[in-house]
Amino acid sequence: DMQMTQSPSTLSAAVGDRVSITCRASQNIRSWLAWYQQKPGKAPKLLIYEASSLQSGVPSRFSGSGSGTEFTLTISSLQPDDFATYYCQQYNTYSGTFGQGTKVEIK
Amino acid sequence: QMQLQQSGPGLVRPSETLSLTCTVSSGSITKNNYYWGWIRQPPGKGLEWIGNIYYSGSTYSNPSLKSRVTISVDTSKNQFSLSLTSVAAADTAVYYCASVTMIRGAPAFFDYWGQGTLVTVSS
């Protein structure tokens, strides 16, 4: 079974901080990884696909990197609207396994 | 921009069947480069993929739910549906439908999402 593990589970940061979230896959998934942002009571929103491709309309302060088994989502300068929970999702197999999520909180 | 509208009951009794429908607007469900998917999220927890379907009827389901899940498509109504049998309290969750972009002929990432439906399993 494919497992996706995110770290940290919770991250406290201030507006303007550079933050990074890591996602590790239990098997090589090449670049077949997406990142989502979810706010309370809302559906997730696609941010990044194919590990580093920015979805249309997503601010350029979001970026993704990595391949194989280790991936990173970086927010270059945290904005008030960015406090949310972030999920990674692999699509190398025909399943859509998600990571457990990383909550970005206000410091 | 594609829109997905979910419908279905918010309360299901234990051991009964959960049924939800997702109607696709501003786009055809027979688009060649899309699968259609279901994802759920128990209260306070993370996202769990349930399964995907192509307009032809080809499906992929989470092995942990596969024996209880049926996903179907009705192209005449531009809808796809989820059926989950023998529900228990652990199936209480917000259920989302979503469009699934295809990569290499296979379902990939979820780009447009429905509004979510909280389904509570309780007698």
pLDDT of residue B27: 84
The SS3 assignment for A12 reads strand
Stretch 12-71 of chain B: residues touching chain A, C-beta under 8 Å: 37, 39, 46-49, 52, 60, 62-63
Q: Cα distance from B111 to chain A (closest Cα, Å)?
A: 6
Is A46 within 8 Å of A91 (Cβ atoms)?
Answer: no
**Interchain contact, A99 vs B46, CB within 8 Å:** yes
Q: If pLDDT is split at 50, 70 and 90, which confidence band does B31 have?
A: confident
pLDDT of residue B40: 98
Q: If pLDDT is split at 50, 70 and 90, which confidence band does B65 have?
A: very high
| pLDDT above 80: residue B32 | no
What is the DSSP code (8-state) at residue A2?
A: -
What span, in angstroms and rounded, lies between the C-alpha atoms of B90 and B44? 13
**Interchain contact, B116 vs A43, CB within 8 Å:** yes
What span, in angstroms and rounded, lies between the C-alpha atoms of B61 and A47? 24
Task: Pick A94's closest partner by Cβ from B60, B110, B116.
Answer: B60
In what helix (H) or strand (E) does residue B96 lie, and over which residues does it extend?
A: strand B93-103
pLDDT of residue A1: 85
pLDDT of residue B26: 83
Q: A84: which 2 tokens?
A: 């949310």
Q: Cα distance from B88 to chain A (closest Cα, Å)?
A: 22
Residues 6+ apart with CB under 8 A from A81: none
| pLDDT above 80: residue B69 | yes
Is A98 within 8 Å of B49 (Cβ atoms)?
Answer: yes
What span, in angstroms and rounded, lies between the C-alpha atoms of B105 and B14? 38
pLDDT of residue B82: 98
* Average pLDDT of the residues in A39-51: 98
Q: If pLDDT is split at 50, 70 and 90, which confidence band does B1 have?
A: confident
pLDDT of residue B17: 98
Helix residue ranges per DSSP H, chain B = none
pLDDT of residue B99: 96
* Average pLDDT of the residues in B16-40: 93
pLDDT of residue A61: 98
